[in-house]
Amino acid sequence: MLQEIIDLQQSAVKQLVAELKKKNEITFKAPTGSGKTYMMADFMNRVIAEKPNVVFLVSSLSKGDLARQNYEKFEEYKEKGNFPNLNPYLINSEIAGEERLFIPAEYNVYLLPRDLYKRGGRLMQGSMTAFLKELKFFKKIFLIKDECHIETKNLNSLSDYFEKTVNFSATPKLTRGQHPDVEIKNGDAENAKLIKTIEWGEETDTVSDAIAKFEEVKENYRNLLRINPCLIIQISNKDKADEELQNKIKPALKAKPDIKWMLIVDKEKECDTNDVFKAKKMPVAKWKDYAKTSAATIDVIIFKMVITEGWDIPRACMLYQVRDTQSKQLDEQVVGRVRRNPRLSDFEILDEKAQKLAMTAWVWGVESDEQKKVIGVKLYDEPQETIENVKIKTTKLKKLSEKTDFNLSDFLSKQKE
């Protein structure tokens, strides 16, 4: 892994630990794909090292299976010896007795899926309150709200049990006071090669244009990166979904019979694919596990809302949004799915061409305000007063494809000396 990435992540975690000592609630903002789960684990490991009597409750506020994914990551880090102080436990309905859920008290990181703690759920029938009361006698409980931009009123009712609250999100909710205390900015993450730079498609480009670009990139992805790339297509949730599928997406896919696709929606029974080598009625959870691997042969994934949070698929390098979300937060979450570095652990061994390919994402959708902002630059070996008085705005030029007949020598010969 590049030293720039290590330095950026460790600096953010160090700041988080320092801020937690000053305030009872802090917020961390980092782009999707910047290693939020890894930094969360590092943060908890450092806090527990200083205060062994601290227990973390990590509430995954996503509809996706984010709690299980985080738990598996924490277990993986623990097995590798990265963060030896962590002892994670996944709270789930399978541990239920006849009357109520039982939660053991000997762990120091508890992962709570949002859907398990909702009105009418097993945990709402006294199990969670009893667990927290018992734990609070001899431990300090810190709450981590993963994907904190999603509101969870039931969890807020337990706020008296938590001494500290830490919000994690790529898009924290400012209207609820989630102003970032520590932030990794998009530009910093891009410069460190932690996330990809976006190449925006034209507004007039169709699904067929996106598929054509995917076919152009696919061979290089396989040869240079040893990864099967993926194009993800987002459609509307309700009424417009069928129309978009029938009139825009399926005709484009039908024209490319060699392209393998899968359709994922909220309900498991509605998963579909043209991959005849896989069981078409496989549950969504298994499809998602298969599709995210670098060796997966699914070229196009069509989805509604299930990829907004909690699904890491680093091989995804393109996004085409058929739907208009009208939500900046949702757009940023979705775009983040294609910005992960697919060769994060060994990026430094790639040649220049492969590195450029790995660090490019192609997106047809709504460009966020943050992407349009002035890009910060660093001036080396200049006096501080000079740096403070220089502001640079960069302009990305379009390709010179329409000027291919331009000849530099002819142009110069017509100029005055």
3 state SS for the chain: CCHHHHHHHHHHHHHHHHHHHHCCEEEEECCCCCCHHHHHHHHHHHHHHHCCCEEEEEEECCCCCHHHHHHHHHHHHHHHCCCCCCCEEECCHHHECCCCECCCCCCCEEEEEHHHCCCCCHHHHCHHHHHHHHHHCCCEEEEEEECCCCCCHHHHCCHHHCCEEEEEECCCCHHHCCCCCEECCHHHHHHCCCECEEEECCCCCCHHHHHHHHHHHHHHHHHHHCCCCEEEEECCCCHHHHHHHHHHHHHHHHCCCCCCEEEECCCHHHCEECCCCCCCCCCHHHHHHHHCCCCCCCCEEEECCCCCCCCCCCCEEEEEECCCCCCHHHHHHHHHHHCECCCCCCHHHCCHHHHHHHCEEEEECCCCCHHHCCCCCCCCCCCHHHHHCCCCCCCCCCCCHHHCCCCHHHHHHCCCC
Using pLDDT thresholds of 50, 70 and 90, give the confidence band for residue 5: very high
Q: Which one of 256-270, 309-323, 390-404 scores highest in mean pLDDT?
A: 309-323
Checking if the pLDDT of 205 tops 50, the result is yes
Q: Choose the weakest-confidence range: 140-144, 168-172, 392-396.
A: 392-396
Q: Residue 302: which residues within 8 A CB-CB, separation 6 or more?
A: 232, 233, 235, 245, 249, 261, 262, 263, 264
Checking if the pLDDT of 117 tops 80, the result is no
pLDDT at 330: 57
State mean pLDDT over 343-357: 94
pLDDT at 305: 62
Q: List beta partners, residue 96.
A: 101
What is the percent of the chain where pLDDT is above 90? 44
Q: Average model confidence (pLDDT) for the chain?
A: 82
pLDDT at 203: 85
Checking if the pLDDT of 61 tops 90, the result is no
Backbone angles phi, psi at 177, to 5 degrees: 80, 15
Answer with the residue of higher pLDDT: 21 or 94.
21
Answer with the residue of higher pLDDT: 130 or 340.
340
Rounded Cα–Cα distance for residues 106 and 87 (Å): 9
Q: Which domains does the chain have, with CATH numbers?
A: 3-184 (3.40.50.300), 196-366 (3.40.50)
Checking if the pLDDT of 390 tops 60, the result is yes
pTM for the model stands at: 0.78
State mean pLDDT over 50-68: 82
Q: Are strands 109-113 and 360-364 parallel, antiparallel or unpaired?
A: unpaired
pLDDT at 93: 61
8 Å CB contact between 117 and 143: no
State mean pLDDT over 170-178: 86
State mean pLDDT over 56-61: 85
Token pair listed for 237: 């949730």
Checking if the pLDDT of 98 tops 50, the result is no
Token pair listed for 273: 């694919």
In this predicted model, what pLDDT tens digit does every residue of 287-346 receive, in sequence order? 777 788 888 889 999 987 655 555 678 899 999 988 655 555 556 778 888 999 999 989
pLDDT at 96: 46
